[in-house]
Every structure is written in structure tokens, then in C-alpha cells.
Amino acid sequence: MSIFEGLRFKTISSPIHRIDPRAKFIYVCVLFAIAVLFSQLIPLLILFFSQMPLIIIAKLKREWLRLMRGSMFFAAIIFIANMVSLYFYGGTQSLAAVVEHSLAMTTRFLILVESFSIFFATTSPDMLSLSLEQIGVPYEFCFAFTTAIRFVPVLAEEAQTIMDAQKARGLELERGNFIKRVKNYIPILIPLIVSAIRRSMELAEAMESRAWGASKKRTSLYSLKMKTKDYIFIVASIIVLLVSIYVRFFISIPSVTELMHLG
């Protein structure tokens, strides 16, 4: 599941982590817009690599590499699908042009993955839930969201323990035909469900004991305030978008194939 590693938030501190989630969200939208705006390889590659400084500042190099490796399977499918469709149904294009276009589409996909990753890996779910709260989503929903994220690793570990416990009693998950294999999972699912129910009861007790629902006007330890740097970040993102639109419509961009011919 290396692809999810790159999307999982890590508690580290960097200037990117400290940017307001809303500002980051606008930035990601801008990236999406530009990626969709262009369909040529060169601007898309520039866009792809222009994220590198951000990734380095956010200390995400390792996660980025893992994410790219994890995305390779989907990237390959996109590349091949584009190749096949353009080559057979794309008309009179040269092979080089087909390859270039397919690469461009693949790069576009990678940009989408990359920007998602920058957003999720640098925005703590706490902050995300807080920004949801501040735009008016009910607190119960936001609480459920963060609690779910909090318990994902716990449940994953528990599932592993249960699997080990049953394997130690001779359960072989991979044995038998399809129906038998599905049945093999019952001894794992039942303890997992029972334990999740027990856990949720305990959680509810703990919440009640800490005055859940005491006040209609719940306060929060943190509040998100857009600071100057967040506004600068938003303004910069929008300028980049405007420049991109200008470039897209008023400047002609050569393709790699053309450049090679000129050379």
C-alpha cells in the first residue's frame, strides 16, 4: 500500500505544513486547473517538476518517491491506453507524436497525484476537520472524521493480531475453493467486529466522562486564522493561474517532436 503512504499525514513541521488548509486547498485547485488547461508535454513536465521545491521544503522526498513508485502501475495503464487509442484511432499522427501525447497524459495524472499528496501529507486531519468546522460542517461529523482516522492504524494492527491468532490455530486463509476462502475469513471478521463494538462502547464512555455535549457553543483549542503568508500564498497561486492562462492562449508552445525536427 505504498501509494497510501505518500498520502498519509506525518507529524512533522515545515513551512508548508503551517500554511492554512484553505490556502493549500486553493493552491491544489490551481494546480488541477493548470494541469487540465495544458495538454502538451513540455508545460506539464515543467508543472510536474515545479512542485519539487515544495516537496523538499515539506520534507516529503521519501514519501514522494514512494508515491511515484506506487503510482507507476496506474501511470502505465494510462500510458498504454492512450497509446493504443491514439495509435489506432488517432488518425495521421506520427508515432513520436503519439508517444509524446501519451506521456503528457501520464504526466497530468502524476501531477494530480502529486498535488493531492502535498495537500494530504502536509495537512493534519485535525486541521482539516477544523477547517470543515469553520466553514459550517456540524462538529459531530468532523469528530467522526478525525476519530476514524485516529483508529485506522489501531484497527489495522488488531486485524493483524487476530489473523496471527487464528493462523496459530491452524487456519489457512488461502486454502480451498472460492466459497471456502470467503468462509475462511469468518474467524477473523467476527473477533474484529466484536472488538470494534467493545472499543466503541469504551470510547463512548470516555467521551461522556469528558463532558461531551455539555455546551451548545463548543469552543476549540485551535482556530484557523488566515495570516499574511497564507494570503500571499493564495495570491501567488492565482497569479500563477493567470500567467498559465495567458501562456496557454497567447503563446504557442512547441512540442518535443517539433523541437527535435528543428534540431
Partner 1 sequence: MAVIEARNLTYSYPFADKPAIEDINLAIERGEFVLLTGPSGCGKTTLCRCFNGLIPHFYGGKLEGEVWVAGLKTDEHPIHELAKHVGLVFQNPENQLFALTVEKDVAFGLENLGLPRDEIRRRVDWALKVTGIYDLKDRAPFELSGGQQQRVAIASILAMQPEIMVLDEPTSFLDPLSARSILETIYQLNRELGITIILIEHRLDLAARYADRIIVMDRGHIILDGEPRKIFLDDRIKLVGVGLPKVVRLYLALRDDNVNLKRVPLSPEEASRLIAEVLNSDRS
Partner 2 sequence: MRRCSTLIEAENVYFIYPNGVEALKGVSLRINDGEFVAIMGQNGAGKTTLVKHFVGLLKPTKGRVLVDGVDTRTVSVAQLARKVGFVFQNPDHQLFSETVEDEIAFALRNFGFDEKTVRERVDWALNLLDLTQYRKTSPFMLSGGERKRVALASVLAWDPKILILDEPTIGQDAYQKERLRHFIIQMNQQGKTVIIVTHDIEFVAECEPRVILMVNGRIIADGDAREVLTDTVAIKEASLVLPEITQVFMGLNDLGFSWKVLGVYEAKCLILERLRGVRI
251 touching partner 1, by CB under 8 A: no
11 touching partner 1, by CB under 8 A: yes
The item of partner 1, partner 2, none sharing an interface with residue 251, based on CB under 5 to 8 Å by kind, is none
150 touching partner 1, by CB under 8 A: yes
In 205-241, which positions are buried (b, 16+ CB within 10 angstroms) versus exposed (e)? eeeeeeeeeeeeeeeeeeebeeeeebeebbeebeebb
List binders of partner 1 among 198-237 (CB under 8 A): 199, 202-223
Backbone angles phi, psi at 38, to 5 degrees: -100, 145
- Which residues have CB under 8 Å from 78's CB, separation 6+? 102, 105, 106, 109
Stretch that binds partner 2, among 15-23, 92-100, 118-126, 154-162 (CB under 8 A): 154-162
Distance between CA atoms of residues 183 and 172, nearest Å: 11
211 touching partner 2, by CB under 8 A: no
* Sole binder of partner 1 in the list 147, 191, 240, 248 (CB under 8 A): 147
Distance between CA atoms of residues 238 and 119, nearest Å: 17
The item of partner 2, partner 1, none sharing an interface with residue 92, based on CB under 5 to 8 Å by kind, is none
CA angle (196, 202, 207) in 5-degree steps? 120
Shortest distance, CB of residue 109 to partner 1, whole angstroms?
30
193 touching partner 1, by CB under 8 A: no
Number of residues counted as binding partner 1 (CB under 8 A): 35
252 touching partner 1, by CB under 8 A: no
5 touching partner 1, by CB under 8 A: no
The item of partner 1, partner 2, none sharing an interface with residue 172, based on CB under 5 to 8 Å by kind, is partner 2
- Encoded one letter per residue, x for contact with partner 1 by CB under 8 A and - for no contact, window 94-133 reads ------------------------------xxx-------
Instruction: Extract the C-alpha cell encoding 258.
Output: 517539433
Distance between CA atoms of residues 129 and 137, nearest Å: 9
Distance between CA atoms of residues 156 and 136, nearest Å: 32
